[in-house]
Amino acid sequence: MRFHGEHLLIDDLQDVLLANWFPEVDRYSQYREIDSWLTANPRRRPKNMQRFLHNWFARQKRYELSRPDEEIMVDGARVRLTSRDRRMG
C-alpha cells in the first residue's frame, strides 16, 4: 500500500499511474487532502474512485501550471521560476 488513510487507499499501481500522468503535483499532500475531504463529505462518496482521483489531480495540475511566475535565489542571483520550470522540476 502506497497510502493508507481513513477513507482512501492508494496501491502502488495507482500511485505510479498518477505519478506518470501528473508529475508536477505533490501526490502525498494531495492524498492527505483527498482523505480529509472524504472524511468531511461522507454523503458525497465517489462511485468511481479512479475517475475521482484523475479529476482531482487534473484540477490540481491546472492550478499548479496557472500559478504566476516567481523568483528564487540561485547562487546569489535572482532567477525567475516559470510554470514550465515547475513542470520540469
Task: For residue range 34-89, list pLDDT tens digits in order.
Answer: 999 999 998 998 999 999 999 999 999 887 777 666 677 778 877 776 656 665 65
Quote the pLDDT of residue 87. Answer: 59
- 10 CB-near residues (< 8 Å, 6+ apart): 1, 2, 3, 4, 18, 31
Work out how many domains the chain is built from and give that number: 1
Task: Give the range of the structural domain holding residue 78, as residue numbers without chain letter.
Answer: 3-88
Quote the pLDDT of residue 35. Answer: 93
Residue type, 16: V
Show the cell assigned to 8: 482512501
Quote the pLDDT of residue 20. Answer: 93
* Average pLDDT estimate for 5-19: 90
pTM of this structure: 0.70
Show the cell assigned to 32: 492527505
